[in-house]
Structure 1
Amino acid sequence: MINIALQGAEFFAYHGFYPEEQKLGCRFVVDIEVSFVPPEGLNDEDLDNSVDYEKLYIIACEEMKHPRKLIETVGQSITDRIKNKYPFIESIRVIVKKLNPPLMGKVAHSSVIINYPSAK
């Protein structure tokens, strides 16, 4: 089993339930972790037998550009695109953190964690 991770990818985006959040935007951090068994092994150093973390970043970047009311939806969209791009992946963990969410007090971040397959 191989694990590949992309940690701390930062984005400015317009996700949020309230109109002010969708207008002003906010900083977000995305972490992605995937686990898989290479379909053909890794002895030939062929990137097609692995997960390209640059592609993971591009998927996250593209999904962060589409404003949504819930960061849960953002995390699920990222997860779904990774599953479609790399069908041999056995597990995916996506964490979307909203930095300094607009609350009544100081909060470092709120977050959502999407796991595939989901725990039952």
Structure 2
Amino acid sequence: MPEQLVLLLELLLEEAELSVSSLRTIKRTYDLQKQDAEVRHRWCELVVKHKYAQAYGDVEHFLIHDQAMGVYLYGELMVQEDSRQQALARHCLSLVQNEMDQSARRVVEEMVL
């Protein structure tokens, strides 16, 4: 159930460290890219928090296709002080800025630029 997956991912977000192997297993076991936006959002938070570079494509997909829920993720990408994550945020913004809601775009631009 999506609600159960959201709860699981929220609990995992409380963990200080997760191994690449654990993250890979979670993604594969629960087929996270095929879940609803709430589940995918939590997954993306895990990816960003643990700097799981192999799943940055999932974050990009989320930011492009779930723009309304993506504003928070832009902030998370920028506060990690990881140049690769910051570049990902800038790249995604450049792809969707003309399609974004104007107020959301302003908020994201303030974080990213």
Return the TM-score normalized by structure 1. 0.28
Between Structure 1 and Structure 2, which shows a larger proportion of strand residues?
A: 1
Between Structure 1 and Structure 2, which shows a larger proportion of helix residues?
A: 2
Return the TM-score normalized by structure 2. 0.29
Please identify the structure whose Cα radius of gyration is greater. Answer: 1
More relative contact order in 1 or in 2 (CA 8 Å, sep 6+)?
Answer: 1
